Chain A
Amino acid sequence: MFDPEKAIRDWRKSLQKNATLSESDIAELESHLRDEMDRQAAAGMDPESAFRAALDLSAASEALGAEFGKSRRRRGPRNALLGLFPAYLRLALRRTVKYKGHSLINVLALTVGLAACGLVLLYVRFATSVDAFYKDADRVYRINLHRKTAQGEDVIAGNYTPLAPALKERFPQVEAAAQVFSGGFEPQPVVYRDKAFKEANIYAANPDLLRVLGIALLRGDPGDALVRKDTVLLSARLARKYFGPEDPLGKTIRINDRDCEVTGIIADPPANTQFQHDVVMSARTEIEREEFLQGWRPGIFGTMTLVKLKPGVDAAAFEALIRDLPHEYAAEDLRKLGAVNRMVLQPLKKTYLYEATVEGLVPSPRLVYLYVFSAIALLILVLAGMNFVNLTTARSIRRAGEVGVRKAAGATRRQLVLQFLGEALVTAFLSLGLAGLFVLIALPAFKSLAGVAINESALLEPGTVAALVGLTFLVGIVSGLFPALFLSSFRPAVVLKGRFRTGPGGVRLRRTLVVAQFSISITLVIATLIVAGQVGYMRRQPLGFAKEQRLVINFRTWGMLTENHEAVKTEFIRHPAILAATACSGVPGKGINRTYYYPTGLQAEKGQALRSLRADHDFFEVFEIPVVAGRGFQKDIATDTYDALVLNEQGAKAFGWATVEEAVGKTMTDRPIPVVGIVKDFHWWGLQRPIEPMVVRVAPDLFRYIAMKVSTKDLAGTIAHVKSVYDRLYPGEIFEYFFVDEAFDRQYASEIRMGALFRAFTGVALFIACLGLFGLAASTAEQRTKEIGIRKTLGASVAGIVRLLNWEFAKWVLAANVIAWPAAYFVGRKWLENFAVRMPMPWGLFALATVLALAVAQLTVSWQSVRAATANPVDSLRYE
């Protein structure tokens, strides 16, 4: 039995499959169908026949859908172009393969540019991620100390030791407050049974460190972590190193002469944190051992204080609240010193890239270098983009015919623009793929150059990938757009008749781009030379002391070398190659403390903290530092030990004495200690820093080093002798030595590193500029083939033609100097301002850079010029 309703439902269903029909359309058609069925039924048909007849009158549903689709689709360009996209892609790929040389240069330049950007991007992402990953890092602050006296002011990262417990006790805004002691300047010995190594990453902290940084224990009881005295947490890697398969929990490990119980294991610190804690000892061990760490002592600021504020606490308001705490707890001391000490908050996330100064947070050199290298990487990419524009437009003659034919065949300008843009994008993305490989290959070298620990996997992080793809897209579009508009503008009637020549517009553009490229390259070359020049200049500067052939034994801790130092020295000096020796608390290039000094009776007016060196009588002799007034320390004067001091010239000046002679005989502190002599200023630190006022005393209680003047003969034998003596005198201790010049030059590591990075990037930039020039020379030579042929038939020599072609480019490279020199001068002067001792502006280097760029450019162009000039004119003129 025929059911018309079911038939209509089925029919509806078949229509619903058609995507172009909406529900409303179908309803309208159904209404129409029913009207027709009614009419047929009224004419006497049975329901089934009426339904069939009505359907027959309507068209088949497919045809119907197609008709509807037509009315809805707006013959839009978007759909048509999307449909054609695969064809464009295929065309672009084919094009890339066909013009191999041209594509190779473009791809190579873009690859190098994108790889440079990729490397710097990884660097940037690493640097900005440092310490930002800690749980609730937004609420963590380091409390710096702003110290101000009549002599000056500074901001330091350390603070009063009891600050953290006080904050936690008094302020409900504080969720947790950590005290952190770093292990000091030198690695400390860690011993478990037969395993003894020196470990650099030793910290001491109170239990709140775990809460502030949100560090979870892998093993052990969090409630017991760092609570008891002489307990320690180890990183997983360190636990493995010392305990192997044994269970470290509950074991005793000897750290810097203290037996500590291992109460927990923490995860290895990731590369991107400043807290590389392998060993975290209970702070109580440290505090109870050192009397000076107890109480709000003046001048003891070795403890870092980190607080985590409760959610919603306003940091600025909290800072105002705790600002004057020192004057509550240490009022008497501060009054005596005439000092004002204030608390300043620095967000944890801004401790790596920013420095706290009296003016507030300023970008650290790290951030500045980050900006510099980001800028250079982008410049390199811009250079590569310019290459693309340059080479693509230079080849326009070859492609003019193609454009003409396509236009004649009905291609619209829009289609051509899209085609050329597609080619640019294919080139760009091809380069991106290669750049990815390049980055992976170059990353290890880059890591050691930049001195950062970036993980390879960072390259595949979505943020990195998105940024690089975005950048590639941008470069493809921007550098593809001009050639696309230029090429697609050719008029077929002109080009197909063969009357086509590139207009002056294209030539002018290419010249401008070459000048721009070389301006950038020459600027970078000059900058590189300035960096290298300054580093060399610093190393050559007289430092005021002798640093070569000074061998230093590093004693692990105080107390190994005290009143016995003369006897120990004598043991070493027995060897003929050891010419002199001195015991001291520091050597140039190493850390040195400040101590508070004042002329007797003038504490409030003249008191100041100055660099304080403890050394024996022979220090000035060993380092060949001349005494300019008074005398050096003498062994036969008993009071010279402890009760005499020597200043450097800056020291004498700092206390307001007009001449060095005037300073001799004055007394210091209330003890009082007489000033017996003044030595000539010498550089304790690298030449980035000025010479600071310094005081020297013979005080064996803090000796840490023995420095020896050794002869160059048989250095290995000398060191072996020193080691054997050391092992005999200090059995069980680890012998450690270094040379002063090596240690000192390590202070220039960041400049040397930057110089090397700069050199690498500049090389890349110059390389790209030359690639561009090479391609340009090739197409210029090609375009001028006939001209050269005519010149030759008229008697021009090969040399003359090469000169002519080379001069064409030399002109523009020379012109680039007009821009490059002032730019390099400005940048160079700015950078040199970072150094206390700086070389005079090296104009010779400017000229050198110009000559270098010119020579490289000439070499690049000559290959093409010679080829063009030696070609047989018969070949080039045959078709005329």
Chain B
Amino acid sequence: MISKALVAASTKPMILSILVRGEDYGYQIIQRVKDISGGILQWSDNMLYPVLHRLESDGLVVSRWKVSDGGRLRKYYSLTDKGRQELEVERGQWLDVHKALARLWEPLAARD
């Protein structure tokens, strides 16, 4: 189980990364996160929607209502230019953290 803090911190880059592939709606985003993490990350709707709304009010994503093939009304979110830039920033930061951790966790001998 991944800690709450880490889940919270990774929500934003995760969503941005999913939306950069194309517009999507909330339920589907949760499914994708679950699939892509092999079931380790199980987001709830009460966590996702507030984040989506905040991203929208910050201008990183935009939403629109769309009727799906099954006749159901869904709210689709897609990335703005600002969102793309934000994703790049996030990506850089995560990769930096990742790189640092990866180096730290290399076998001790390799450091000599």
List residues of A whose CB falls within 8 A of some B CB: 24-25, 27-29, 31-32, 34-36, 57-59, 63-64, 67-68, 70-72
Shortest CB-to-CB span from A204 to chain B, Å, is 77
Most-contacted residue by chain B among A57, A71, A72 (CB, 10 A): A71
Which residues of B are found within 8 Å of A24, using beta-carbon distances? 75
Q: Contact check, A70 vs B73: say whether CB atoms are below 8 A apart.
A: no
- Give Cα A58–Cα B43 distance, bound, in whole angstroms: 10
Contact with A along B31-74 (1 / 0, CB 8 A): 00000000000001111011101100100000001000000111
Q: Choose one: A34, A59, A68, A71; the contact of B72 (CB below 8 Å).
A: A34
Interface residue? B94 (CB, 8 A): no
List residues of B whose CB falls within 8 A of some A CB: 25-28, 44-47, 49-51, 53-54, 57, 65, 72-75
Most-contacted residue by chain B among A27, A67, A70 (CB, 10 A): A67
* Sample of 10 A–B contacts (CB below 8 Å): A24-B75, A27-B75, A28-B75, A31-B25, A31-B27, A31-B73, A34-B72, A35-B27, A36-B27, A64-B46
Q: Contact check, B44 vs A58: say whether CB atoms are below 8 A apart.
A: yes
Q: Contact check, A32 vs B73: say whether CB atoms are below 8 A apart.
A: no
Shortest CB-to-CB span from B64 to chain A, Å, is 11
Q: Contact check, A32 vs B45: say whether CB atoms are below 8 A apart.
A: yes
- Give Cα A27–Cα B74 distance, bound, in whole angstroms: 8
Shortest CB-to-CB span from B63 to chain A, Å, is 9
Known contacts A31-B75, A57-B44, A71 near B51 by CB under 8 Å? yes
Q: Contact check, A70 vs B50: say whether CB atoms are below 8 A apart.
A: yes
Q: Choose one: B25, B46, B57, B75; the contact of A63 (CB below 8 Å).
A: B46
- Give Cα A24–Cα B44 distance, bound, in whole angstroms: 19
Most-contacted residue by chain B among A24, A29, A31, A36 (CB, 10 A): A31
- Give Cα A28–Cα B76 distance, bound, in whole angstroms: 10
Since A59-B44, A67-B46 are in contact, a sample of 20 more A-B pairs with Cβ atoms closer than 8 Å, ordered by chain A residue number, is A25-B49, A25-B53, A28-B75, A29-B45, A31-B27, A31-B74, A31-B75, A32-B26, A32-B27, A35-B28, A36-B27, A57-B45, A58-B44, A59-B45, A64-B45, A67-B50, A68-B49, A68-B53, A71-B50, A71-B57
- Give Cα A36–Cα B44 distance, bound, in whole angstroms: 11
Q: A-B contact count, CB below 8 Å? A: 51
Q: Contact check, A67 vs B72: say whether CB atoms are below 8 A apart.
A: no
Known contacts A34-B72, A35-B72, A36-B27, A72 near B46 by CB under 8 Å? no
5 nearest interchain CB pairs?
A71-B50, A59-B46, A35-B27, A64-B46, A28-B75
Shortest CB-to-CB span from A816 to chain B, Å, is 59
Which residues of B are found within 8 Å of A27, using beta-carbon distances? 65, 73, 75
Q: Contact check, A28 vs B49: say whether CB atoms are below 8 A apart.
A: yes
- Give Cα A57–Cα B44 distance, bound, in whole angstroms: 7
Which residues of B are found within 8 Å of A34, using beta-carbon distances? 72
Residue of B nearest to A63 (CB): B46
- Give Cα A58–Cα B25 distance, bound, in whole angstroms: 16
Q: Contact check, A31 vs B72: say whether CB atoms are below 8 A apart.
A: yes
Which residues of B are found within 8 Å of A35, using beta-carbon distances? 27-28, 72
Which residues of B are found within 8 Å of A58, using beta-carbon distances? 44-46
Residue of B nearest to A66 (CB): B46
Which residues of B are found within 8 Å of A71, using beta-carbon distances? 50-51, 53-54, 57
- Give Cα A58–Cα B48 distance, bound, in whole angstroms: 11
Which residues of A are found within 8 Å of B45, using beta-carbon distances? 29, 32, 57-59, 64
- Give Cα A63–Cα B46 distance, bound, in whole angstroms: 8
Q: Choose one: A31, A64, A72; the contact of B53 (CB below 8 Å).
A: A72
Shortest CB-to-CB span from B34 to chain A, Å, is 11
Most-contacted residue by chain A among B27, B54, B72, B73 (CB, 10 A): B27
- Give Cα A29–Cα B50 distance, bound, in whole angstroms: 11
Residue of A nearest to B75 (CB): A28
Shortest CB-to-CB span from B73 to chain A, Å, is 6
Residue of B nearest to A68 (CB): B50
Shortest CB-to-CB span from A33 to chain B, Å, is 8
- Give Cα A194–Cα B47 distance, bound, in whole angstroms: 96
Q: Contact check, A67 vs B26: say whether CB atoms are below 8 A apart.
A: no
- Give Cα A58–Cα B44 distance, bound, in whole angstroms: 6
Residue of A nearest to B55 (CB): A71
- Give Cα A28–Cα B28 distance, bound, in whole angstroms: 12
Which residues of A are found within 8 Å of B44, using beta-carbon distances? 57-59
Q: Contact check, B74 vs A29: say whether CB atoms are below 8 A apart.
A: no
- Give Cα A63–Cα B49 distance, bound, in whole angstroms: 13
Which residues of A are found within 8 Å of B54, using beta-carbon distances? 71
Shortest CB-to-CB span from A589 to chain B, Å, is 82
